[in-house]
Structure formats: structure tokens, C-alpha cells
């Protein structure tokens, strides 16, 4: 499955570099990737399309891997950073930095990263009572997300026209105007924190059996939980700082991977690859599949919202709860 996903990602990545207002044949694109000076393509492909496509992969992989980490650890498909307030924390900080403080660029990204980590820590501390129970953490996270969304709306109501446009572009989740300055920090975070999370996949699998069973199997439950939360939140924070809170990618990737894999195998790496594929495809469709261009977050939101409603309805009919 991993091989198939990698092939699909490579295919969509190549199409993203070739197709646009101007079509560049594979030979021109390959020349640009090899550092050759190709008339026209060097700028369009090398400076516009390439960083955008790379960030789509990096952000998608980060969202997908972090999302399935939370869902696996807390044994609940609703436990994704979109739902439990982490993405909202980064978004609120970015809106505050843009509208109230008048900041831009790297400063906004730093605000988003620190705030995402801070909100995750606060949710963890508030939900801790002899251990961070999954249901309690999810409910507190949902409440935190609601408060942060209200804060975002208040901040936007005070924004001037220019700040409002900038904040909304950031809050929607967009790859427009991507530069290597945005890509590099998110890529470094993925290369450090991604392998760390993947190395904990066995312990996360044990946590699905319950804390007592995991402890009996030799897993240091709270230490493992704290490490994976910090690593997953770091991925989310850096990806959000680079591309904005691309809606529902963290939420969808894990369940899709689980459906494809079945009961066998860890969904961690497949979920990350599915996240990368989702963002690549959604961004390409947002640019060229409709009569007008849409930010990637709008497209993923259209895909994810019906699934969230379906999941809640299915849980309710089954007599379950969060």
C-alpha cells in the first residue's frame, strides 16, 4: 500500500509541476529539477509551482501523521487536531498577530507555533486526572476550540480591510504565494518529528488496548503519551504556520488509512502519505477544476465536513459516545 501511495503522490506531484496556465513538458520540468536554466520554466516551475507542491506534501504528511497519532492514542476518530483545539489555537494566535499586532511573515508563524504548543499543553493539563483520559481530553479540546473560534471572530470584527484579507487567507488554509522560506521550517520539523512518531507506532498500538494493558506490556504510558503529543503538536504547529489550518486533513487521513489497511498493520505511515496526497489533489483541484480558484482549505473542508456529520450520526445511532 505504501508503494502505491508513493506512486500516486509522485504522479500528482509531477502533474502539479507540468500543468497550469502554461504547460511544460516533462523534459523541461526535469531540467529545472536538475538545476538547468530552462527559458520560462525556471521561474514558473522552480519558483512558483515547486515550493507550492513541496509544501503540499510536507503539510499534508504532517497533518495526516499527527492526526492519526491522536486518533490512535485516544482511541477515538474524533480526536484530531482540527477538533480538539490545536489548530484553532494556532489560528487565533496568527489572527491576533496580524490584526492586533500588525505583524507578518515569520513573526506570525512563530506566534502560531508557540500558541499551538501552548493550547495542547493546556488541554492536556486540564484533562489530566490520574492520566489523560481520551474522552475528557476530547471534550475539553472541543470546548477550547469553541472559545478560540469565538476569539478569532472577535479579532476579525476589529480588522481593517487589508488585515482582514490577509488574516482570512491565512485562516482558510492556502498554498498561494508559497516560498521556500515557508517550506524549509515545516520540512525540517517533518524530518525530525515524523520519524520520532513513526518509531512510537508500536507503543501507540499498545495504548489502544488500554492503559493498564499497555503498562503490563512494558509501555511507559504517560511518558509515551507526552512524547507523542509534543511531537504531533509540533508537526501540526509548523505545518499550520506554513500553510494555515488546512481543514480536515488530519481528521480524514487516519480513517481512510484504517479502511484501506483493515485490522492488520500500523496506519501511521499510510495516514501521513494519504494526507500528502489529499492536499496535493485538493490544491490542484482548487486551482483548475472549477470556474474560479479556491484555497486548498476550502476544498478539503468540503470533503471533510460531510464525513464529520456522518461519523457523529453513526456514533449516535449505535448508542455510542465520544
**Could you report the per-residue pLDDT of 237-250, keeping only the tens digit for each?**
889 888 888 988 99
With CA atoms as reference, report the closest residue to 205 among 272, 263, 259. Answer: 263
Half-sphere exposure of 160 (CA within 13 A, CB side): 7
Q: Tell me: the pLDDT tens digits for 29-70?
A: 999 998 888 888 889 999 999 999 999 999 999 999 999 998
Provide the percentage of residues in the chain whose pLDDT is more than 70.
95
Q: Output the pLDDT for position 319.
A: 52
How far apart are the C-alpha atoms of 56 and 306, rounded to whole Å?
23
**Residue written as grid cell 484533562:** 127
How far apart are the C-alpha atoms of 274 and 2, rounded to whole Å?
9
* Phi, then psi, of 128 in degrees rounded to 5: -80, 125
Give the CATH number of domain 2-317: 1.10.3470.10
Instruction: Report the phi/psi class of residue 170: left, alpha or beta, with left for phi > 0 and alpha for psi in -120 to 50.
Output: alpha
Return the domain boundaries, the chain. Answer: 2-317
* pLDDT band of 132, cuts 50, 70, 90: low
Q: Which residues contact 263 (CB under 8 A, 6 or more apart)?
A: none
Q: Output the pLDDT for position 134.
A: 66
How far apart are the C-alpha atoms of 239 and 244, rounded to whole Å?
7
What is the H or E stretch that residue 1 is in?
Answer: none
Distances (CA, A) of 124 to 64, 86, 133: 21, 11, 9
Cell numbers that stand for 295 in this block: 484555497
* Phi, then psi, of 132 in degrees rounded to 5: -90, 95
Q: Output the pLDDT for position 322.
A: 46
Mean pLDDT estimate for the chain: 86
Q: Which pTM value belongs to this model?
A: 0.89
Q: Tell me: the pLDDT tens digits for 134-148?
A: 678 888 888 998 999
Half-sphere exposure of 277 (CA within 13 A, CB side): 21
Q: Are 297 and 247 in contact (CB under 8 A)?
A: yes
Counting DSSP H helices and E strands in the chain, the numbers are 15, 0
* Phi, then psi, of 65 in degrees rounded to 5: -70, -45
For range 214-232, the mean pLDDT: 82
With CA atoms as reference, report the closest residue to 147 among 170, 166, 130, 122. Answer: 122
Q: Are 186 and 241 in contact (CB under 8 A)?
A: yes
How far apart are the C-alpha atoms of 147 and 42, rounded to whole Å?
46
Range among 38-42, 56-60, 179-183, 232-236 with highest mean pLDDT value: 56-60
Q: Tell me: the pLDDT tens digits for 82-106?
A: 788 888 888 888 889 888 888 877 8
pLDDT for 317 beyond 70? no
Provide the percentage of residues in the chain whose pLDDT is more than 90.
31
> CB count, 10 Å around CB of 226?
14
* pLDDT band of 164, cuts 50, 70, 90: confident
Q: Coil, strand, or helix at residue 279? A: helix
Range among 169-173, 265-269, 281-285 with highest mean pLDDT value: 281-285
Q: Tell me: the pLDDT tens digits for 189-211?
A: 999 999 999 998 888 878 777 77
Q: Output the pLDDT for position 321.
A: 46
Amino acid at each position: 500500500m505504501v508503494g502505491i501511495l508513493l506512486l500516486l503522490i509522485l504522479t500528482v506531484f509531477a502533474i502539479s509541476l507540468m500543468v497550469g496556465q502554461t504547460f511544460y513538458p516533462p523534459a523541461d520540468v526535469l531540467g529545472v529539477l536538475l538545476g538547468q536554466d530552462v527559458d520560462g520554466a525556471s521561474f514558473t516551475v522552480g519558483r512558483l509551482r515547486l515550493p507550492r507542491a513541496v509544501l503540499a506534501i510536507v503539510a499534508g504528511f504532517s497533518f495526516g501523521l499527527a492526526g492519526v497519532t491522536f486518533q490512535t492514542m485516544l482511541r477515538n476518530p474524533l480526536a484530531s487536531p482540527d477538533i480538539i483545539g490545536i489548530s484553532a489555537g494556532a489560528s487565533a494566535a496568527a489572527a491576533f498577530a496580524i490584526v492586533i499586532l500588525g505583524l507578518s511573515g515569520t513573526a506570525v508563524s512563530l506566534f502560531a507555533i508557540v500558541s499551538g504548543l501552548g493550547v495542547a499543553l493546556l488541554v492536556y493539563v486540564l484533562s489530566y486526572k490520574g492520566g489523560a483520559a481520551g474522552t475528557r481530553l476530547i471534550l475539553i479540546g472541543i470546548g477550547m476550540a469553541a472559545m478560540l473560534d469565538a476569539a478569532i471572530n472577535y479579532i476579525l470584527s476589529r480588522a481593517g480591510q487589508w488585515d482582514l484579507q490577509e488574516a482570512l487567507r491565512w485562516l482558510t488554509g492556502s498554498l498561494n504565494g508559497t516560498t521556500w522560506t515557508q517550506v524549509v521550517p515545516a520540512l525540517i520539523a517533518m524530518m525530525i518529528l515524523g520519524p520520532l512518531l513513526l518509531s512510537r507506532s508500536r507503543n501507540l498500538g499498545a495504548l489502544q488496548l488500554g492503559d493498564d494493558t499497555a503498562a503490563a506490556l512494558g509501555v511507559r504510558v504517560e511518558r509515551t503519551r507526552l512524547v507523542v503529543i509534543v511531537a504531533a503538536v509540533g508537526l501540526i504547529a509548523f505545518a499550520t504556520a506554513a500553510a494555515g489550518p488546512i481543514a480536515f486533513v488530519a481528521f480524514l487521513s487516519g480513517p481512510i488509512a484504517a479502511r484501506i489497511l483493515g485490522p492488520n498493520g500500523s496506519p501511521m505511515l499510510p495516514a501521513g502519505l494519504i494526507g500528502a496526497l489529499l492536499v496535493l489533489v485538493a490544491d490542484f483541484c482548487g486551482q483548475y477544476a472549477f470556474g474560479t480558484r479556491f484555497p486548498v482549505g476550502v476544498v478539503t473542508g468540503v470533503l471533510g465536513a460531510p464525513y464529520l456529520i456522518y461519523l457523529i450520526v453513526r456514533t449516535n445511532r449505535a448508542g455510542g459516545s465520544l
